[in-house]
Amino acid sequence: MLEIKDLRAAIDGKEILKGITLSVKPGEVHAVMGPNGSGKSTLASVLAGRETFEVTGGSVSYLGEDLLELPAEDRARKGIFLGFQYPVEIPGVSMVNFMKTAINEQRKFKGMDPISASDFLKLMREKKEIVEITSSLTNRSVNEGFSGGEKKKNEIFQMAMLEPKLAILDETDSGLDIDALRIVANGVNKLRNKDNATIVITHYQRLLDHIVPDHVHVLYKGRIVKSSGKELALELEEKGYDWLKEEN
Amino acid sequence: MTPIELQEELTSLYTQHADTIAKSSSETINNRRVKAMEDFVRLGIPSKKTEEYRYTNLMPYLKGEYTYELAPARFSVDLNDLFRCDIPTLDTNIVLALNGFFYEKNQIDRLPEGVIISSLAKASLEYPELVNQHYSRYADTSLDSLAALNTLFAQDGIFIYVPKNVVLDKPIQIINVGFSLQNLRITRRNLFVAEAGSQASILICDHTLCKSSFITNSLTEVYVGENARLDIVRMQNENDKSSLINNSFIYQAANSHLSSNTISLHGGLIRNNVFTKLDGKGANNETYGLFFCKEDQHVASFTHIHHAKPNCTSDQLFKGVLDDNATGAFNGKILVDKYASKTLAYQRNHNILLSKQAKMNTKPQLEIYNDDVKCSHGATVGQINEEALFYLRSRGIARKEAHHLLMYAFADEVISKISLEPLRERMNDMVEKRLRGELSHCENCAIQHN
């Protein structure tokens, strides 16, 4: 599904990703862990198409296509979803209008007619249940005045609405209390199937108690320094990241 | 052409036609011309040296060859047939003004007893005392030379009178039309009087009906009596070769409420001056504005809110979006008298620049002579929020559509303050069309901007 080969990316001339190679197959969950500043969020941003980062080398193929050639909106329409570490507040744009526009843009891209009002409402209702989100949240402006937990739930709600093939969740656990963490993780698990894949970016192991990964990768100074099964996460929890600094 | 040359041209235009102008008007209107002439001669056409017009260079817009009409133009077409304003759930009393004059074929519905919607010239003859009591009592011609110029040339416009305790359910819709085969200078003078305890809402649409260039000098005086409520919505939608100078002088008595929303969609130069005096305890004023400008347009908002009595509140919000080489200015002043304790006065001005060349000057001012007040002001000039843009795009929304959503959200804060729902919806619609670059004309309405 996703083949990242020797990916390099820089911001303001400073190289952050220094050659990343990673392969994700349908049905898999990959966890990318690593200390602060190792390039985790940069990897997520580059995959989602944020232009502030300049790709300086390597390639990314997604469903057989050159992902790096596509603008952010086309990547989303083709099934890539980025769960933001810091979801943006957009006063004046209602959640309903936002989701309706997003869904219809996706449908237009697939050559489908816009969704009917009743189907849309039904879809909203259905997906809200997955993340235990209250009606009042979807009546408000996008993320405006949402608590940290509500913002993260809202990310998973959007993911549920858009049904991506590849979801990249950037530190979705940061700032969540244990209940919100459970709800968010449950949401992700409910959306898992054999055809889609998830990349979970996290600093801590605790999210991985709920979302069990098939592969764990450790990112350090812009490179994947270790890849293994889920037991690697436990090892990291125990040993911290200091050993990395000694080895690399 | 220099400001002085233009001033001379205009004074000689007046002198040349003074007799005709006087003959068409009542004593009330004529009586105010002497002082207006003195003020105009003394103040001159505003130049860069005039503090209030420092960021609005009028000369490029006001010079050129223009004709002037001393009597209402006559056309074979009936403007009533051209206007079928279809704000679906909004039934309005439509009043047309053609080139500044009350349109002779206006078909005004039956009004509640005592309510007057009429030509100002005619009203000043029919109700001399009433008009004399208000006409040119609020417009201080020594404050603005273009207000002086308006008073000098004033012949006609719309007069609205709502008697004590009368509530007008049906909004009044004034449609100002510029229609001329030659470039034309227009003087337009309105007077709205809402007596104590009355309520009314007025929608004013400014249009040009052809491609000629118009320079309109418009002045509206508004009296809001005790406990009266008046809501005014303006939609400025002239062609981009035209200039509109729009002065409003508002007087509010105790516990009165006035809201004004000015939405500027198209026009070459738009200058909105609002002078408000809160002259009775507990008066409440809301002055809002929203503008979009592009190419070489200039839109300027100037406000002067004078808190003269205690316990009054005022709230101002002005927002602007500027593209291409457009320039804009906001100059807002809150003046709190020493007697005006317990004043609450707020002012905000936010602008978005969409191009590197667009320019916005903003100058919020507070002048306070009382200790017991709450006042605040804030101004920002920024770009579109790139983070928000990326967030929307990451959900599959195309850049153009995402941009549109953000612009619309920016505008919504002002539009949502329009209290009359059908009007608010219509303005939403017009702004939406403006943002999409479609022709900003109402459905079924033959008026099109260029």
B302-341 pLDDT, tens digit per residue, is 999 999 999 999 999 999 999 999 999 999 999 999 999 9
The complex scores an ipTM of 0.95
A102-132 pLDDT, tens digit per residue, is 999 999 999 999 999 999 999 999 999 888 8
Using the predicted structure, report yes or no on whether residue B439 has a pLDDT greater than 80.
no
Q: Could you say which residues of chain A have pLDDT below 50?
A: none
Chain B residues lying within 8 Å of A71, measured CB to CB? 393, 399
B399 neighbors B366 (Cβ within 8 angstroms): no
Give pLDDT, residue A248: 65
B71-126 pLDDT, tens digit per residue, is 888 877 788 777 665 555 567 888 999 999 999 888 888 899 999 999 999 999 99
B412 vs A92: CB contact, 8 Å cut-off?
Answer: yes
Angle, vertex CA A96, rays to CA A95 and CA A99, nearest 5: 80
Chain B nearest-CA residue for A77: B396
Give pLDDT, residue A174: 82
B395 vs A158: CB contact, 8 Å cut-off?
Answer: yes
Please give the share of chain A, as a percent, with pLDDT higher than 70. 100
Q: Domain A2-247 carries which CATH code?
A: 3.40.50.300
Which of A75, A88, A158 has the most B C-beta neighbours within 10 Å, making it the best mutation to test the interface with B? Answer: A88
Interstrand relation of B172-178 and B373-382 (parallel, antiparallel or unpaired): unpaired
B218-276 pLDDT, tens digit per residue, is 999 999 999 999 999 999 999 989 999 999 999 999 999 999 999 999 999 999 999 99
B39-86 pLDDT, tens digit per residue, is 999 999 998 888 889 899 898 888 888 999 998 888 777 887 776 655
Q: Where are the domains of chain A?
A: 2-247
Chain B residues lying within 8 Å of A81, measured CB to CB? 394
Give pLDDT, residue B31: 95
Chain B residues lying within 8 Å of A144, measured CB to CB? none
A87 touches chain B (CB under 8 A): yes
Nearest to B337 by CA among B368, B362, B359: B368
A102 touches chain B (CB under 8 A): yes
Please give the share of chain B, as a percent, with pLDDT higher than 70. 96
pLDDT band at B443 (very low <50, low <70, confident <90, very high): very low
Q: Which residues contact residue A121 at a Cβ distance below 8 angstroms, ignoring those fewer than 6 apart?
A: none
CA distance A109 to chain B (A): 9
B393 vs A77: CB contact, 8 Å cut-off?
Answer: no
Q: Where are the domains of chain B?
A: 3-279, 384-445
Give pLDDT, residue B83: 66
Q: Which residues pair with B332 in a beta bridge?
A: B303, B364
Chain B residues lying within 8 Å of A142, measured CB to CB? 391
CA distance B425 to chain A (A): 15
Tokens 């969704």 — which residue? A115
A73 vs B405: CB contact, 8 Å cut-off?
Answer: no
Query: Measured between alpha carbons, how far is A90 from B401 in angstroms, rounded to an integer?
Result: 15
Average pLDDT value over all residues in chain B = 92
